[in-house]
Amino acid sequence: MHYSTAAMDEEALFFPSSDTDLDLSFTSIASTDRTTTTTTTSARTSLARSSLTLSFNDRLSTTAETYNTTTSSSSSSLLRSHRRSSDDPHWSAIKAATTLSSDGALHLRHLKLLRHLGTGNLGRVFLCRLRDYDNHANANFALKVVDKESLSAKKLSHVKTEAEILSTLDHPFLLTLYAHIEVSHYTCLLIDYCPGGDLHALLHRQPGNRLPLKAVKFFASEVLVALEYLHSLGIVYRDLKPENILLREDGHIMLSDFDLCFKADVVPILVQYTTSTPTRSRAGSLSCFGEDEEEVVTTDIVAEPTAAFSRSCVGTHEYLAPELVAGNGHGNGVDWWAFGVLIYELAYGTTPFKGGSKESTLRNIASTRDVRFPENDEEEGEEMSLLRDLVEKLLVKDPRRRLGCARGATDVKRHPFFRGIKWALIRNYKAPEVRGLPRKTTMTKGHVTTHVSSHRRRRLSRWLVSWKGSVLLGCYKKKKPCRFVHV
């Protein structure tokens, strides 16, 4: 999301006056020159890349009117499973507020705006807390406010899509929707606040705008897990880029901005993988014959929307897949292409097909030219070679041969670049030491911690098993077949 600052007034329209509150309003204010409003709040202001379908030239309404402020709150997602513990400050604060509310719902009057975080293509974002619940010291929220009267029909459909997608998500690396409030012509989404900024801003704090290889693997692994979850729900993301990867206070990620997603059916399958490992004697040494191998069969669940199809041209130009640029229709493969571009940018500080202009970039993507890597790279070695091999497999122009398109994250996880990653415990990994990256070391609300007990690890493993079981159960309830494949 691209942010710019803007003046706001008439805060009393929705909130009681308070000496400690900011004088902010949801009222849209037109800007005659949008280039002059990009001055303060975010590193995205001058550097971020915008999505193709979203225009910055749409004028907002210049009229401030008074509306009836009847509200409705949708908190049906209360107590999500991965953060159900009673010590979660966010859900504890919301539960306290809704318990005392006359109708048991959360309203705008319950929220206290702290400051304006920025303005995006669809709305404004505020840092806020619940009024009278300052004892919940860590319960900061982000409130995304959309003025529906100022948006085109297409953008309104994007707002609806984002709200619907957020309401279905329950994952530590994806934003949580705490409440969906409709008041007058405003749509308000109460979501997670990530104080670490975004990955795009972090990149631009590094020498050469590139991360150390260890940090690349860390962020790529978490994005991969998030994409796996989205695809298991039949959701094709279509807007993966560093600007949409937010950083929590513990240095771990949260994907944001789901307005360009689309949904498709997904049929889970069981996949068996057979691998060969050298046999060992009881003493632990290799067999004296040298060539004896033991076959190990592992089974995994694959839930990938391989039948997904759309003709919409959406996304950010440097991250668009060739089939999307061609306009002949695309599916789940666009996310795996964007994943390859992301890894490349994290490792090399630029995108692989970037040209002198948007047009030249799109021509490079649509051409038959394969991905190229910088020569005389300082960081060589086996790990970098594995990264290049992974990127080459993800950036295959033909989506039918692209890694991930057939069996999704299951195949991508098996690439040697991710060797050693314990996927069931990834939430517990310590964030890497990177300039400007927050690394909180205390346990908070079921999120990542640097010191985790064995009991906590067992709970996380059960969560992963529960998620995989829910995929099969959902398939059963919809009376869809679950195919079994041997690889």
**Residue 423, C-beta contacts closer than 8 angstroms, at least 6 positions apart:** 221, 225, 413, 464
Q: Are residues 168 and 316 in the same domain?
A: no
Six-digit token string for 224: 């991969």
pLDDT confidence of 8, banded at 50, 70, 90? very low
pLDDT above 80 for 474 = no
Residue 398: domain span: 199-486
Six-digit token string for 214: 């260890």
Q: Which amino acid is at 245?
A: I
Please report, for residues 308, 317, 326, 328, 437, the alpha-carbon distance to residue 365 in angstroms, rounded to integers and kept in the order given. 22, 9, 10, 15, 32
CA-wise closest residue to 316 among 277, 260, 270, 273: 260
Instruction: Tell me how far apart the alpha carbons of residues 240 and 200 are, in angstroms, rounded to a whole number.
Output: 12
pLDDT above 90 for 444 = no
Q: Mean per-residue pLDDT for 196-204?
A: 96
Q: Evaluate whether residue 4 is within a structural domain.
A: no
Name the domain count of the chain: 2
Summarised one tens digit per residue, pLDDT across range 65-82 is 333 343 444 444 444 555
Q: Evaluate whether residue 56 is within a structural domain.
A: yes
Q: Evaluate whether residue 3 is within a structural domain.
A: no
Q: Cβ(196)–Cβ(251) under 8 Å?
A: yes
Q: Are residues 35 and 164 in the same domain?
A: yes
**Average confidence score pLDDT of the chain:** 78
Summarised one tens digit per residue, pLDDT across range 85-107 is 556 788 888 888 888 888 889 99
- Of 148, 177, 192, which one is at a domain's C-terminal end? 192
Pick 302 or 60 by higher pLDDT.
Answer: 302
Q: Are residues 77 and 109 in the same domain?
A: yes
How many CB atoms are closer than 10 A to CB 180?
Answer: 21
Q: Are residues 218 and 267 in the same domain?
A: yes
Q: Are residues 315 and 411 in the same domain?
A: yes
H or E element, residue 154: helix 153-168
Q: Write down the pLDDT at residue 21.
A: 40
Q: Write down the pLDDT at residue 159.
A: 95
Summarised one tens digit per residue, pLDDT across range 390-420 is 999 999 999 999 999 999 999 999 999 999 9
- Of 159, 175, 192, which one is at a domain's C-terminal end? 192
Q: Cβ(228)–Cβ(174) under 8 Å?
A: no
Q: Are residues 428 and 288 in the same domain?
A: yes
Q: Write down the pLDDT at residue 440.
A: 72
pLDDT confidence of 445, banded at 50, 70, 90? very low
Q: By percentage, how much of the chain surpasses pLDDT 70?
A: 67
Q: Cβ(259)–Cβ(278) under 8 Å?
A: no
H or E element, residue 293: strand 293-302
Q: Evaluate whether residue 36 is within a structural domain.
A: yes
Catalytic residue among 88, 147, 198, 239: 239
Q: Are residues 153 and 214 in the same domain?
A: no
Q: Mean per-residue pLDDT for 446-461?
A: 43
Q: Are residues 242 and 382 in the same domain?
A: yes
Q: Are residues 236 and 127 in the same domain?
A: no
Q: Cβ(266)–Cβ(301) under 8 Å?
A: no
pTM to 2 decimals? Answer: 0.77
Six-digit token string for 444: 């908070």
Q: Are residues 368 and 434 in the same domain?
A: yes
Backbone angles phi, psi at 183, to 5 degrees: -140, 125
- CA-based R_g, the chain, Å: 24
Q: Mean per-residue pLDDT for 202-221?
A: 96
Identify any residues that bridge with 253 across adjacent strands, giving them in sequence order. Answer: 247
pLDDT confidence of 150, banded at 50, 70, 90? very high
Q: Are residues 419 and 318 in the same domain?
A: yes
- Of 192, 222, 255, which one is at a domain's C-terminal end? 192
User: For the stretch 360-381, what's the b/e string if a residue is b when 16 or more beta carbons lie within 10 angstroms of its beta carbon?
Assistant: ebbebbbeeeebeeeeeeeeee
Q: Write down the pLDDT at residue 375.
A: 84
Please report, for residues 21, 65, 112, the alpha-carbon distance to residue 18 in angstroms, rounded to integers and kept in the order given. 5, 22, 9
Summarised one tens digit per residue, pLDDT across range 264-309 is 999 999 988 887 666 655 555 555 455 566 778 888 889 999 999 9
Q: Are residues 152 and 268 in the same domain?
A: no
Q: Write down the pLDDT at residue 292.
A: 62
Instruction: Identify the CATH number of the domain in which residue 351 sits.
Output: 1.10.510.10
> Coil, strand, or helix at residue 224?
helix
Residue 58 appears among annotated catalytic residues: no
Pick 100 or 21 by higher pLDDT.
Answer: 100
Q: Write down the pLDDT at residue 120.
A: 84
